[in-house]
Chains A and B, each alone.
Chain A
């Protein structure tokens, strides 16, 4: 049990299958990611990128497999995991301020029944400063632009002071200058041995942003360092060759209400 702490994988996904309405959207994913990497999850629309993140975070039921973070069960290391959900996943007309939202990042550390302390406020303000939003602290969130909403979510995730960060399309609706600033921020985090895993859309910037990529199209196409993994033929396999047979079988399972796993006989 006496493992070298920094040698432990940040994330291990083992035989992960996830289904929506019985149709598998992720098939038997196996992957491992070392600590301190800036990781991009790349793939076409409907490839299951967000699904992968959500299932790792335990937000979706798994059909098979398991995920481990720092070689532990997710629920045992929640305080070390931070999450940036997709911007559209919440109602931005909710009656709270930017600071209120960022303070939510402290709730995990605070625990039930405890009120946020001055120290939590300091952390929240500091995180707002890091994303350049300190002057918006008291702004109602309905008045934010898309990019500002995204930065608010980022600040909330930073306020968790975690060791591994999952970010679902943090650059959606963000202008180019802000995107650069965020990437620089993520780099300083990975330099401090934090692991940052980002769902990303823009193929142009992959090589310059990420030092590790996961190529995904309902199944895992490749997983490894960008230089050796982000290659022309792997990209071709991810985007070009849609495995029609695979999605036809998935459709069949849903249409006929077949179980997507046989029941285990104990």
Chain B
């Protein structure tokens, strides 16, 4: 616990630097990455991330120092070059975007590793730490580096806010942006430069290989929770910031733990959780909804069977055994008993010993289902011209879902008919 208070008091300047750096970097990358995510260009971010490695090495080779400005300049150049190469390949050959990205990504990364190996073998005393760019090491963020990277991060955030409206339009409907007369080419140049810059600072924290996760995953998390682009960007930035903070904290408490991979693990866990539990889009929600539908259908089928039995015996309120229901329509025995229990607790059925009987409310609900079933069969034969022996299955599903409005429409269109295509009476 003392670790926790030590860390969050931020009394150690080193903790302050690393945490502030990690949070700024991840939050700004998340913002910029949200545009690539919405533009369905997520893989481009990955390509750029890999392509900056040779630039960093060249920056070091040419300047002989690890001054971040030189490294950023080198990274910027090869990052851009890779983008240009991808676009050139797509435009001038039959190769599609995914293949072009794969080609460029591996060529640039391979060249970067080559340079890195050369530098490491060259015996240059300055070189130690360059390999951090591959997997990242936020803990090595200190002093002057940190100031540079923080400035870049703040610039990224500022530009996102300033040009939010234009970028939004550009990503949603580029042609329309051109038609409006916006300087689309220059805006695209700016946005792409921002992505390259985000990558350049981001690989400090998580490295080349994992950079795509920091760019894209926060946006993917945010999209699960909202349909508003503003809220999406706020959530993405918060998710990014939180993962940066968590990564810094974990590597503080366990110094052998790398910051970057932990940032990625945290943000990926959030993505997995969102995938599970997000309202509407989460799979759990969908599962429960499906289960509710299945139960409703089964319950209504039980009511329907009791109603049909009542029709043949001319009395809807006869007490019957479960076996009688199963003889009329096959149910799984356990499922049927659960349905009967649910219907009893909802007041549609009553149970007397082993016998069950429709209540007045149960009869009304069952009658509506039977009515819709028969009306729909009639509609399909008279209006859609489907053969009468093919309409039953359709009606069996529709009867459970038709809204009262559509039900009224149906009655009106058919003008309250008396019998269905099988000459059975339609109850009102």
CB within 8 Å of B: which residues of A?
54, 57-59, 75, 78-79, 81-83, 85, 89-91, 94-97, 100-101, 104, 107-108, 110, 112-113, 115-116, 140, 142, 156, 160
- Give the residues from 223 to 263 in chain B that come closer than 8 angstroms, CB to CB, to chain A: 223, 226-229, 232
Q: Nearest chain-A residue to B227 (Cβ)?
A: A140
Q: A89-B173, A89-B175 are in contact. Are A97 and B182 (CB under 8 A)?
A: no
Q: Are A160 and B223 interface neighbours, CB within 8 A?
A: no
Q: Nearest chain-A residue to B169 (Cβ)?
A: A104
- A and B contact pairs by CB, cutoff 8 A, 29 listed: A57-B175, A57-B178, A58-B178, A59-B179, A78-B179, A78-B180, A81-B179, A82-B179, A85-B176, A89-B175, A90-B173, A95-B38, A95-B223, A95-B229, A96-B229, A97-B227, A100-B168, A101-B172, A104-B169, A104-B172, A104-B173, A107-B166, A107-B177, A108-B180, A108-B182, A112-B166, A112-B182, A116-B165, A140-B228
Q: A112-B166, A113-B163, A115-B165 are in contact. Are A94 and B181 (CB under 8 A)?
A: no
Q: Give 19 A-B pairs besides A95-B229, A104-B180, A113-B162 with Cβ atoms closer than 8 angstroms.
A: A57-B175, A59-B178, A59-B179, A82-B179, A83-B175, A85-B173, A91-B172, A95-B38, A95-B226, A95-B227, A96-B228, A96-B229, A104-B172, A107-B169, A107-B182, A108-B182, A112-B163, A113-B163, A140-B228
Determine the chain B residues whose CB is within 8 A of the CB of A85 once the complex forms. 173, 175-176, 179
Interface residues on B, range: 20 to 34
Q: How far is the CB of B35 from chain A (nearest CB, A)?
A: 12
A82 to B165 alpha-carbon distance, docked (Å): 19
- Give the residues from 168 to 192 in chain B that come closer than 8 angstroms, CB to CB, to chain A: 168-169, 171-173, 175-183
Q: Are A54 and B166 interface neighbours, CB within 8 A?
A: no
Determine the chain A residues whose CB is within 8 A of the CB of B175 once the complex forms. 54, 57, 59, 83, 85, 89
Q: A94-B38, A115-B165 are in contact. Are A75 and B181 (CB under 8 A)?
A: yes
Q: Which of A82, A100, A142, A160 counts the most chain B CB atoms within 10 A?
A: A100
Q: How far is the CB of A177 from chain B (nearest CB, A)?
A: 16
Determine the chain A residues whose CB is within 8 A of the CB of B227 once the complex forms. 95, 97, 140, 142
A45 to B177 alpha-carbon distance, docked (Å): 27
Q: What 1/0 mask marks residues of chain B from 47 to 70 whose CB sits below 8 Å from any chain A CB?
A: 000000000000000000000000
Determine the chain B residues whose CB is within 8 A of the CB of A79 once the complex forms. 181
Q: A90-B173, A112-B163, A113-B163 are in contact. Are A96 and B168 (CB under 8 A)?
A: yes
